Structure 1
Amino acid sequence: MNSADPLVMIVDDNVTNIEMLAATLRSHFRLAIVKSGEKALELTQKRLPDLILLDIMMPVMSGFEVCEALKQDRRTRDIPIIFITAVTATDEKTKGFGLGAVDYITKPFHASEVLARVRTHLALRQMQEALEEKNRIIAGTLKEKRRQLDTLVDNLPGMVYRARFDGAWRTCFVSDGCRELTGYNPRDFTTHKGLHHGLFARGDSQGKKKRRARADDNLNKEIKALSLYPSLDDAHDNIHKALKKNIPFKETYPITTASGEDKWVWEQGIGIYDEQGNLTGMEGFISDITEKQKEAVALCLENRRLKSKCIHPHRFDDIIGASPAMQKVYKLILKAACQEDNVIIYGASGTGKELVARSIHTNSNRSRGHFVPVNCGAIHESLFESEFFGHKKGAFSGATTDKIGLLDRADGGTLFLDELGEISLGMQVKLLRVMDGNGYIPVGGTRVKKPDIRFVAATNRDLKKMVRQKKIREDFFFRIHIIPITLPPLKQRREDIPLLIQHFLDAYPQDETLPRMTDSVVSAMVDYHWPGNIRQLQNVLYQYLTLGQLEFLDPIGGKGGKTIEDAGHDKGEAQTLKSAMEEYERKFIEKMLALHGNRKIKVAEALGIDRKTLFRKMKHHNINI
């Protein structure tokens, strides 16, 4: 026999049975023959058979007892056992199968039956062993793949997650990458009710004080001002909309880590659905894109800087002026537009404070939102909450419908607080809560609203003086006085007056009967001190165009300066504005040259232009010295 052939053990105390079985099996298998249960147990500790033919009725130790002992031993429990018996009772066979036997052979033996049953169960044993080996190989491969996957997932520069949904969301798995990304450990997510976004929101509220403590940390403000990405709440809503539509999602949004650090993340994922199409969960990946956002901010700020070098020499948006003073204002507008901090615009009445505020809004990332102007001096304190916060139907007598407040209208945009110096102390306290991020409650409402608003204010009063006089709260002043912009009065930028005249003339309905602009008219307008600034200039100009008479009236009443009739119609001195301004410019340059002793550098400085521009203008006007 070949040593590789299966080993069959025959256990029987009857010599005749042993000889019959041996005669049938000897030519096909290797045999081990023992005559008692005790010897069988002893031999199996030395040599493991591939199959055992076990007689039931034996002295001292029955076949049932031997079978039970073999099945309790880890080394021998998988050996197939075929019972040999002369008993045909069903209960005996049931007992044998219950102990772990695989078959019965009933005496008297039939050689072909014995051989067939032994071969069948040896083949089944070989198949089982092959299957077990294959399963071991597969299990080992799966274990290695899982180890590799776990290593990959835990070393990814981000956070892998899985969540289940059974009427409520629960995160069931989060990779170790969450620690570096969010500051939380996986258990924080898996024990938190709801999705991971809720933990990010909790970090946001816990981190506010820490963020304020880092006064030099403007990253989140800059990104928020310059990006078009949604908020955390918006991203959460967008993800749920995608899950309802059974489509993948990709969202970028801000988070605050457990330590209060501001970050921007990119999340992509997909829903899990059952055979009926019902949502059962979701899987996704979240990565840190803060550095990319920093690069985007730097690029945008650089674009703003480059744009500031290309400012139109005569205007910025709807603001007219080429003077050095206005060039400084334009640069401040661009700087304010690149940030989210509050702005205060100082300037006398008529200097164009609202135009500056609109320009800041237009050039900021909030340009898609509303620009909401409000005259603080025109709102009575008793109506403040209703006007700013809105009210619910039935909140008070006459409140027949819900009303949207100014803060609601400005959400996502800019609220322009004109005439800020007229606001009462009580109104300051209520606005201060909103500016500090604590929100407000509409009159008659119960839910706190926290709008995303950029505040731009304007005043013609001295707010610092008002703080000393206790008319403006100090904390309110510091909250609004972050980026100050001061507009010069018109008398301090007289070189812009001809440009303003041209601008207003272009906007005026054209008519051949209109009085012409003469050198004397332009000179008079440039020389006037304009206490009412640009607004007064426009009114005086339009009065001249309508009545043919240039009359200066100080806003406080009484005539100021001379009155000039439309001399062009009587004396044939009709001029276009361009020719009138050029005549005025020529005389003004000659006057300045005489004043400064023909020192061109001094004249250029006095005119607010460079030497090349002065030389070009002198050549144009044929001024020789």
Structure 2
Amino acid sequence: MLKYTPIAQFAIGTDHKVKAWNKACELLTGVSAEEIVGTDDQWKIFYPKKRPILADLVVEQDYEKFLEKYGTKKPAQSSIVPNAWEATDYFENFNGKPRYIYFLAAPVFDDEGNITGAVTTLQDITLRKIQKEAMKRESEQLQQQYSLLQSSMGERFKFCNIIGKSKKMQEVYDVIIRAAASADSVVIYGESGVGKELVARAIHDTSQRKDAPFIPVNCGAISEALLENEFFGHVKGAFTGAYSDKKGFLSNVEGGTLFLDEVGELSLSMQVKLLRAIEGGGFSPVGSTEVLYSDFRIVAASNQNLWEEVQKGRFRSDFFYRLYVIPIDIPPLRERKEDLALLTDYFFSQMDSPLHFDVLPGKDIKKIYNYHWPGNVRELQNVLRRYVTFNSLDFMALPDIDPPVIQPQPPSGIVTVSDSETELPLTDAAARFEKQLILSALNNCRWHREQAAEKLGISRRTLYRKMMAHGLISAI
């Protein structure tokens, strides 16, 4: 059995002579079975002077001597293999290389329960040890960075380009610092307009990846047909029009942060491929069989409840758990109105306006505080731009006003074509008809996109793309 196992193993008898030395053991140690079998020279492979190795001590069942000889080598009874002992030793020159070797020795019994020898398994864990040490050093460096950032921050009104002194924003700043001091994935939750990309950039800019690229990707704005090409790139000749190689997001983000905005819009098949790349399985450009690898961190954002999307079968659970390590909830502006004055002054300064919040008319200040900002910080910025231009507050679309209804000519069971439409090219007529169908579905669903998409039998991403193509986004 030992002869054919892919794991380095050897066996000794009660006379401490080697009885078996498999091929994997030959490759690891550089010593052939012909040289070692029948001798008790196994110690020579590991140590300069004769001494018992783990197998010898297991045969003798001398646990005290085991602890004496391997006291600094993490000696222990195996929690996996019954009656086995284990240890890890470092060798400066083991078959020509410095190596960490893991030993696991188990006794062999006859039918009457007597020990007849021992089998030792050898495993080169050098790479694992180096990676563990590197991760430990990185963790210590990140912890130092976190401590420095935390001590220097205090009660701040601005963190990176995020404005806010409220308690809720101070809590967000603290989570950003913790996230920056970690290498784990982050998911940012929040309504549209709260500044999810600003938070993602803050995490990147205060992390050890700050000198590498930060690449934001709007997952909902890329059509399904282009997803692989955009993320993984393509090689010359992969498809018509591919006249040269093109790098995708994953190649370009090497060493940096990939920000997946509206991550819930990614297709299930794309989630699988991204998960493979995140977990070190690599990726292949379109038209290539070459597997490429990229070192990057994912920060994702969504205004949807991703766990509900998992339960509905629209988001993979394995992808969810891979992303959902550090969640950050960004509060809507209506829940941190104490930041309104700071934000207003900040936006006025960005517009080179001499205005300040505290010199605004009392009625305008009252309106700003009483309004509940469904569009959040982005809406505040737009309102202030109009205020600077027109010198009056104009909220334009109050939350209790229904979305505008654009009256289409809804098709009935039999589609009628007007005389003007018969003069159009087929593609133009089809586009006009498609727009009417989309408008009809949106109006019937009170512009709820998910319901409209379901009614039309298409995905939300496809609906969004078609709305963009027909100029319907501005109608919302």
TM range (shorter): 0.5 to 0.7
Q: Pick from 87, 94, 115: which aligns with 1:186?
A: 94
Alignment match, 2:194: 351
SS in 1 for 2:387: helix
Q: Which amino acid aligns with 1:395?
A: A
Q: Pick from 375, 394, 397: which aligns with 2:237?
A: 394
Distance, in Å, in 1 between the alignment partners of 2:206 and 2:254 is 17
Distance 1:541 1:392, change over 3 A: same
Alignment match, 1:542: 385
Distance, in Å, in 1 between the alignment partners of 2:144 and 2:279 is 30
Contact 1:498 1:522 survives alignment (8 Å): no
Distance, in Å, in 2 between the alignment partners of 1:296 and 1:402 is 35
- Measured after TM superposition, the shift of residue 304 of structure 1 is 1.7
Contact 2:374 2:399 survives alignment (8 Å): no
1:310 aligns to 2:152 (yes or no): yes
Alignment match, 2:173: 330
Alignment match, 1:415: 258
Q: Which amino acid aligns with 2:396?
A: L
Alignment match, 1:368: 211
Q: Pick from 268, 281, 284: which aligns with 1:441?
A: 284
Distance, in Å, in 2 between the alignment partners of 1:296 and 1:376 is 31
Distance 1:421 1:364, change over 3 A: same
1:463 aligns to 2:306 (yes or no): yes
Distance, in Å, in 1 between the alignment partners of 2:89 and 2:290 is 33
Q: Which amino acid aligns with 1:461?
A: Q
SS in 1 for 2:394: strand
Q: How does 1:235-314 map to 2 (within 5 A)?
A: 258=125, 261-263=128-130, 290=133, 294=136, 297-298=139-140, 300-311=142-153, 312-314=155-157
> Cα deviations across residues 502-542 of structure 1 (Å, max 9, x unaligned)?
10011113369x99622221221122100000000000111
TM-score by length of 2: 0.57
Distance 1:303 1:372, change over 3 A: closer
Alignment match, 1:528: 371
Distance, in Å, in 1 between the alignment partners of 2:281 and 2:141 is 33
- Measured after TM superposition, the shift of residue 558 of structure 1 is 3.8
Distance, in Å, in 2 between the alignment partners of 1:347 and 1:305 is 27
1:506 aligns to 2:373 (yes or no): no
Q: How does 1:71-110 map to 2 (within 5 A)?
A: none
Q: Which amino acid aligns with 2:129?
A: D
Distance, in Å, in 1 between the alignment partners of 2:137 and 2:316 is 39
Distance 1:183 1:537, change over 3 A: farther
Distance 1:472 1:545, change over 3 A: same
Contact 2:353 2:388 survives alignment (8 Å): no
Distance, in Å, in 2 between the alignment partners of 1:378 and 1:181 is 54
Q: Pick from 355, 365, 377: which aligns with 2:220?
A: 377
Distance 1:303 1:395, change over 3 A: closer
Distance, in Å, in 2 between the alignment partners of 1:484 and 1:491 is 21
Distance 1:337 1:541, change over 3 A: same
Distance 1:403 1:307, change over 3 A: same
- Measured after TM superposition, the shift of residue 422 of structure 1 is 1.1
Q: Which amino acid aligns with 1:374?
A: V
- Measured after TM superposition, the shift of residue 554 of structure 1 is 3.2
Q: Pick from 305, 320, 326: which aligns with 1:477?
A: 320
> Cα deviations across residues 93-133 of structure 1 (Å, max 9, x unaligned)?
xxxxxxxxxxxxxxxxxxxxxxxxxxxxxxxxxxxxxxxxx
TM-score by length of 1: 0.44
The percent of aligned pairs where both chains have the same amino acid is 42
Q: How does 1:106-145 map to 2 (within 5 A)?
A: none
> Cα deviations across residues 544-584 of structure 1 (Å, max 9, x unaligned)?
11111202233778499xxxxxxxxxxxxxxxxxxxxxxxx
Distance, in Å, in 1 between the alignment partners of 2:351 and 2:223 is 36
Which of the pair is proportionally richer in helix?
Answer: 1
Alignment match, 1:237: none
- Measured after TM superposition, the shift of residue 300 of structure 1 is 4.6
- Measured after TM superposition, the shift of residue 446 of structure 1 is 2.6
> Cα deviations across residues 335-376 of structure 1 (Å, max 9, x unaligned)?
011111100000000001000000000011000100000000
Q: How does 1:8-157 map to 2 (within 5 A)?
A: none
> Cα deviations across residues 315-345 of structure 1 (Å, max 9, x unaligned)?
1110000001001100100101111110000
Distance 1:325 1:511, change over 3 A: closer
Distance 1:510 1:490, change over 3 A: closer
Contact 2:348 2:354 survives alignment (8 Å): no
Aligned length: 298
Distance, in Å, in 2 between the alignment partners of 1:554 and 1:257 is 66
Distance, in Å, in 2 between the alignment partners of 1:324 and 1:529 is 18
Distance, in Å, in 2 between the alignment partners of 1:432 and 1:345 is 18
Distance 1:376 1:184, change over 3 A: farther
SS in 1 for 2:283: coil
- Measured after TM superposition, the shift of residue 298 of structure 1 is 3.2
Distance, in Å, in 2 between the alignment partners of 1:184 and 1:378 is 55
Q: How does 1:527-606 map to 2 (within 5 A)?
A: 527-554=370-397, 558=401
Q: Which amino acid aligns with 2:152?
A: C
Distance 1:350 1:258, change over 3 A: same
Contact 1:532 1:554 survives alignment (8 Å): no
Distance 1:182 1:484, change over 3 A: farther
> Cα deviations across residues 235-269 of structure 1 (Å, max 9, x unaligned)?
xxxxxxxxxxxxxxxxxxxxx9627643269xxxx
